[in-house]
Amino acid sequence: MSNPPSAHDQDATARETADGQENVDGALETVAPTLAGPIRMAGFWGAIALPILYLPVLANGLSTSFEAGLFLGLILLNLVALYVGHAHHRRQ
- How does residue 91 score in pLDDT terms, banded at 50, 70 and 90? low
Residue 62, Cβ density class (10 Å: 0-12 exposed, 13-18 middle, ≥19 buried): middle
Q: Is 87 helix (H, G, I), strand (E, B) or coil?
A: coil
pLDDT of residue 1 exceeding 70, the answer is no
Q: Has this prediction a pTM greater than 0.75? A: no
pLDDT in tens, 7-21: 555 544 444 444 444
pLDDT tens digits for 72-85?
999 999 999 999 98
Q: Is the confidence at residue 6, as pLDDT, over 90?
A: no
| 3-state DSSP assignment of residue 88 | coil
Question: Residue range 50-62: average pLDDT?
Answer: 93
**Contact status, residue 27 vs residue 40, Cβ threshold 8 Å:** no
